[in-house]
Amino acid sequence: MSTIAVGKSVPRFDAREKVTGEAVYIADIQFPGTLHVKVVRSTIPHGIIKSIHTEEAEKAEGVYGIITGEKADFLVGICIHDQPPLARRKVRYVGEPVVAVVAETEKAAIKAARLVRIEYEELPHVLNPLDAIKEGAPLIHEDLGSYFHLPTFNPKPGTNIFHHYHVEKGNIEEGFRKADVIIERNYSFPHIAHAQIEPHGAIARWSKGNELHIYSSTQAPFIVRSVLSRVFNLPSTSVRVTVPYLGGGFGGKSDLTIEPLTAYVARFFPGKWVKFILTREEMYFGSLIGRGCYSTLKMGFKKDGRLIAAKASMHFAGGAYGDYAINIVTGAGHNSTGPYEIENVYVDSYGIYTNTPLVGAYRGYGHPEAHWQTERHMDIAARELGIDPVALRLKNILKPGSENNLGQIIKESNGNLEASIKIAVNEIGLGKEKRETEEIARDHNVRIIKNTSKGLDRRAIPVITKKEEERFAVGRAIAPLMKSPVMATNAGSSAIIKANKDGTFNLLVSSIDMGQGSITALSQIAAETLGIPVEKVRHYRAADTEVTPYEWQTVASSTTWKAGSAVRKAALSVLDKFKETASKVFDVSPSELEVRDGKVWYGNESIDFKELAKGYVFPDGHAIGGPVIGTGAVVPHGLTYPDKKTGRGELAAEWTFGCQAAEVLVDRKTGRIRVRKFVTVLDIGKAINPLMAKGQVEGAVVQGMGAALNETLVYGEDGRVRNASLTDYKIPTPEDAPEELVTIFLETPQPDGPFGARPLAEHGIVSVAPAIANAVRDAIGIDLYDLPLNQDRLLEAIYQREKGKGGDK
C-alpha cells in the first residue's frame, strides 16, 4: 500500500518547541499572584495523628494559610475509594501528606513547613505484602468494608487484601498429577520509581463562582475531572482540567496523583492560583511508584516439554492506598503465565496494603512482573527437562487457534509470536547458523522493519582494562513476551477534526503526548485518511476537558491504536461531509464520488477541500453545507467483565506479541553486568512512524535495564525511602546504553487498528529483566530470582557458590 503520511518517519511536530525551550510544562506556567504549596509529610509509617501544631508556621513570613485534612469529608478513588487528600486521623506511610502550607513564595512555604509540628501515636507497621497477609498483621484500613468499590473488585474487609483476582482454567490438580516434571520457584520484583525527569505538578484555582480550573501534569484529564467533580459535588462543566506538555509519564502520571490535594487546598483561597510542584525527593514517595510483586510459580511439564499445568500466586505490595494498583493486580493475573497455551491454570493475584508509598501504573502494568517469573521459569524448566530453552518455548507458545488463560482464542491477526522468537534467536546469535533476518521473515510471510542503534564505544571507558578469561563471561538468552491492555470495558476515545478554508485541518483529541509522540502519530493518521500531506494537520497541543473531546486516559499503550481509530473515524466523517456537499454540486449520489489529492472527484471533475471547508458557494452566491467538523468515537471491541468464579471472559482487547534477547558481559570480580547487545522483536501491526516507534522501544529497553540491574527503592525499617534522589536511586546513564540496540518490527496488521497498528509503547520493557537474567545464567551458571541483579546479588551468589565448592573465597 502506498501511503502519504502513515509509515513515514516524519520528525515529531513538537520537537521544535522542545529543542528551543519554548514548550511549556507545568512548572513553567506562571500566573501573577500565584500561591505556593509545601506539604508536611508523615515521618512515621503507621499511626494515629494526636495533634498538629501550626501556630508558629502560621505566623511565618509570607504564609497565607495552613490546611489540614480535617475538613476533607470525602475519599478519593476510582475503582475503590480509600484515600483522603490529606491524612485524616491516621497516617499510613512515611511521606503521606498531613499538612499543606500555603505561602506567597515557594521559599516562604518551605521555611514555614519546617515550623509545623505533628504528634503521633505509633502503630505497628508492615512493609512486605507477604507479612501483611499473615495472621495478626497490623490492619492498615479498618474501614475497608465500608469503602465504595466497583463491582469487579474484590476487597477482603478485616484483612490487608484490597483486591483478589482469580483465574481458573481446566483442572489444576489433574494437570499436576499428569505432569512428569514439576518445578516451583519464588520470584520478586521490588518497588521501583518511574523517575520521570519532570516532577509532577498541579496549579489550581477556584473561581469565586465555585468553578475549578486545574492545570496538571496528568496522563488522565478526564479521570481527574470525574473524580474532582464527584468529591466536590460539581457538574462536569464546573471542573476544567488542562494539561500542558508532559515531561514523561510511564504510567506514573496516570489516574490521579496530586490533583485532589491541590484542588482541596486551593478551595480555601478562592480566586488565587495555587501551585504545587513536587521536588525530586518527593517523586519517590509523594506520587506513585511502580511494581513490588512477590510471586510463586509452579509449572508441570510432560517429559517431551509440553506445559500442561501452571499455578501462579502473585502478591502485590500496593502501598498504603490501593486504588491505583488495583487494576495491575488484575492485569498481571490476565497474563501471569506468559505467552503460552496451558490446559490447566490456576492463578491468584492479590493486591495488598502495605505501609509504603502508593503503587500505580508503571510501563508494562503487571506484565514485567508476570514475565519475570514466567520467562525465568521457562529457562530453568528447559534445563531440568534437558530441552533447548528456545525449543521448549516454541513448543508451548500461543498460536492461531490456541486458547489463552482467559478463554479467548488467538487469531492469526493477533501477531506472529513464532516468527518473533525465531528472529530474536537469530539476531542474538543463538541460532544454529546465522541467517538473514529478512529471510526468516519471508519464511513466515511477515513484513519487517529493522534498526540498529549504537551506544557509546565501550573502549572509551577505562573500566575494563584486563582481558582475563576467567574474569569475564559472555552469555546470551531470550525471553518472549505478550501484553494486552487492561482497561474499562467502555474505555472510550474520541476525536474532532475541523476543516479550514485553506485546506488545512485542526485535530482535537485529549490524548496526552508525554513523549511517546501521539501528536505526530495521530496527525499522520488524520492526514493519511484525508489523503493530504501531514503538514496540513495541526494537532492541538494541550488537552483540555473544556475544549478537547473525551479520552478515557493515555495509558495502556492505547493511543495510536484506540485514539487513532477515533481520529480515523473523525477524518472519514469529514470526508463524508465533503462528499455530501459535493454530491449536491455534481448532483450525483455521494457514493459515486472519490477523494484524492485534497479534492473530491466525480469522474475527472473535482472540487478542492478548500471550497468545501466552510460550505460550498455556487457561482450565483448561494451556499450549501456549512463549516465542516468531523467527529469520531470508539470503545474497545466487545470487552466483558470477568466471570465471578473463573475470572475468565473477553478481558483483553488485543495482544502484542514479541521476543527480547540479551547478550551480557558479566564481570565476576566486580559483580557488574553489562548489556552489550539487546534485541527486541515486536509484532506491532503497522509502524505509523518507524522513527518514533523505534524510540519507544529503545527507551523502554534501557528503562527496563535499569530495573533489571540496579533500581530498587530502599526502605529503612521504619518504611522511609532511603534512596530518594537520583544520586542514590541510580537510573541508566548515557554510558549504560548497550553498544548495540536492535529493534525489529513485524507488521501483521491488526484488523481494528488504524492502518493495522497495535500498541507498542510499553512492550519494550516487558521481558528485559528475564532476558538479561537468563543471559547471566548462560554466562556464569547462576540462577537469580530476585531483582535487581545488582552487585550485591551477584557477588553474594558467586561467593556462596565458591564457598560451596570448598574454596574459602
Partner 1 sequence: MSVEIKINVNNRDYRLIVDEEDTLLYVLRERLHLTGTKEGCGNGECGACAVLVDGEPVRSCIILAAEMNGKNIVTVEGLSKVEKDGTVKLSPIQESFIEEGAIQCGFCTPGFVVASSALLEKTKDPTDEEIEEYLSGHLCRCTGYATILKAVRKAAEKTR
Partner 2 sequence: MRYFAPASLEEAINILLEHEGAIILAGGTDVMVEKRSGKIEPSAVVDIKKLEGELRYMRLSDDRLEIGSLTTITDILHWGKLPHEVTSLKDAARVFGCHEIRNRATIGGNIAHASPGAEFASTLLALDATVQLAGKDGKRELSMEDFFLGPGKANMERGEVITGFSVPLLSGSSSCYMRASRVDGMDLAIINCAIRLQDLDAENLAVRAAFGAVAGKPIRIVEAEKLLAREDFEGVKRLLFDTLNPRATSLRAAPMSKKLLAGNLAEDTYKIAKERLAG
What residue 22 binds from ligand FES, partner 1, partner 2, none (CB within 5 to 8 A, per partner kind)? partner 1
Give the integer Cα–Cα distance in Å for 719 and 45: 6
Tell whether omega for the bond before 339 is within 30 degrees of 0, i.e. cis: no
- Do residues 102 and 65 touch, judged by C-beta distance below 8 A? yes
Which residues within the stretch 42-81 sit at the binding site for ligand FES (CB under 6 A)? none
Cβ at position 312, least distance to ligand FES in Å:
34
Q: Which does 449 bind (CB under 5 to 8 A by kind): partner 1, partner 2, ligand FES, none?
A: none
Q: Residues 41, 476, 674, 677: which binds partner 2 (CB under 8 A)?
A: 674
Report the run of H or E that residue 526 belongs to, with start and end. Answer: helix 518-530
* All cell numbers assigned to 249: 509519564
Which residue, 423, 378, 481, 417, is CA-closest to 701?
481
Site for partner 2 in 150-189 (CB under 8 A): none
Total chain residues near ligand FES (CB under 6 A): 3
Of 260-319, binders to partner 2 (CB under 8 A) are: 281
Query: Contact between 198 and partner 1 (CB under 8 A)?
Result: yes
Residue number, 26 or 784, with CB nearest to ligand FES: 26
How many residues bind partner 2 (CB under 8 A)? The answer is 31
Measured from the CB of residue 468, what is the shortest distance to partner 2 in angstroms? 10
CA atoms within a 13 Å half-sphere pointing along the CA-CB vector of 746: 31
Which triple of cell numbers denotes residue 377?
A: 521459569
| Residue 734 sits in the site that holds partner 2 (CB under 8 A) | yes
Candidates 7, 97, 290, 455: give the one binding partner 1 (CB under 8 A): 455
Q: Residue of minimal CB distance from ligand FES?
A: 197
Q: In angstroms, rounded to a whole number, what is the distance separating the alpha carbons of residues 225 and 764? A: 31
- Residue 569 grid cell: 473515524
3-state secondary structure 725-790: CCCCCCCCCHHHCCCEEEEEEECCCCCCCHHHCCCCCCHHHCCHHHHHHHHHHHHHCCCCCECCCC
- By a kind-dependent CB cut-off of 5 to 8 A, residue 714 interacts, out of ligand FES, partner 2, partner 1, none, with partner 2
Q: Please, which of residues 111-170 interact with partner 1 by CB under 8 A?
A: none
First to last CA, the chain: 63
Indicate the length of the chain as a whole number. 809
Residue 698 contact, options partner 2, ligand FES, partner 1, none, Cβ 5-8 Å cut-off depending on partner type: partner 1
When asked if residue 735 is in the footprint of partner 1 (CB under 8 A), the reply is: yes
CA distance 476 to 744: 18
Please give the radius of gyration of the chain, using alpha carbons only, rounded to the nearest integer: 27
Contacted by 107, from ligand FES, partner 1, partner 2, none: CB < 5 to 8 Å by type: partner 1
Interface positions, 707-746, toward ligand FES (CB under 6 A)? none
Q: Which of 135, 733, 804, 805 binds partner 2 (CB under 8 A)?
A: 733
197 lines the binding site for ligand FES (CB under 6 A): yes
The CA distance from 720 to 718, in Å, is 6
Contact 407, 649 (CB under 8 A): yes
Any contact of residue 554 with partner 1 (CB under 8 A)? no
User: Binding partner 1 by CB under 8 A: which of 114, 303, 454, 644?
Assistant: 454
**166 versus 541: smaller Cβ distance to ligand FES:** 541
Q: Is 599 helix (H, G, I), strand (E, B) or coil?
A: strand
If the CB atoms of residues 311 and 674 are measured against partner 2, the closer one turns out to be 674
Q: Given the complex with ligand FES, which of 333 and 695 has the nearer CB atom?
A: 695
According to the binding rule CB under 8 A, does residue 50 interact with partner 2?
no
Q: Cβ atoms within 10 A of the Cβ of 522, count?
A: 26
Helices (H), 1-46: 15-20
Question: Binding marks (x or -) toward partner 2, 459..478, rule CB under 8 A?
Answer: --xxx-xx------------
Rule CB under 6 A: is residue 515 a binding residue for ligand FES? yes
CA–CA separation, 159 and 195 (whole Å): 32
Residue 195, binding choice from partner 1, partner 2, ligand FES, none, Cβ under 5 to 8 Å by partner class: partner 1
One of 171, 236, 500, 725 touching partner 1 (CB under 8 A)? 725
229-248 binders of ligand FES (CB under 6 A): 248
User: Choosing among ligand FES, partner 1, partner 2, none, which partner's interface includes residue 465 (Cβ < 5 to 8 Å by kind)?
Assistant: partner 2
Contact stretch for partner 2 (CB under 8 A) within 238-246, 426-434, 476-484, 790-798: 790-798
Query: Across the beta sheet with 161-169, what order do the strands follow?
Result: 161-169, 344-353, 307-319, 290-301, 181-192
Using DSSP bridges, classify how beta strands 274-277 and 161-169 pair: parallel, antiparallel or unpaired.
unpaired
Q: In the 8-state DSSP scheme, what is residue 595?
A: E
**Could you give the string, one character per residue 247-286, with x where binding to ligand FES holds by CB under 6 A and - elsewhere?**
-x--------------------------------------
By CB under 8 A, tell whether 703 contacts partner 1.
Answer: yes
For residues 568 and 494, the answer to whether their CB atoms sit within 8 Å is no
Distance from C-alpha of 188 to C-alpha of 291, rounded to nearest angstrom: 10
The x, y and z cell numbers of residue 198, run together, are 519532570
Question: CA of 602: how far to CAs of 195, 503, 581, 599, in Å?
Answer: 56, 19, 12, 10
Residues numbered 712 to 731 that lie near partner 2 (CB under 8 A) are 714, 722-723, 727-728, 730
Alpha helix ranges (H) inside 362-416:
367-385, 389-396
Is residue 18 involved in binding partner 1 (CB under 8 A)?
Answer: yes
Minimum distance between the CB of residue 35 and ligand FES, rounded to whole angstroms? 23
Question: Which residues lie near partner 1 (CB under 8 A)?
Answer: 9, 11-12, 14-25, 27-28, 30, 107, 194-199, 245-250, 279-280, 453-457, 460-461, 514-517, 691-692, 694-695, 698-703, 725-727, 731-737, 741
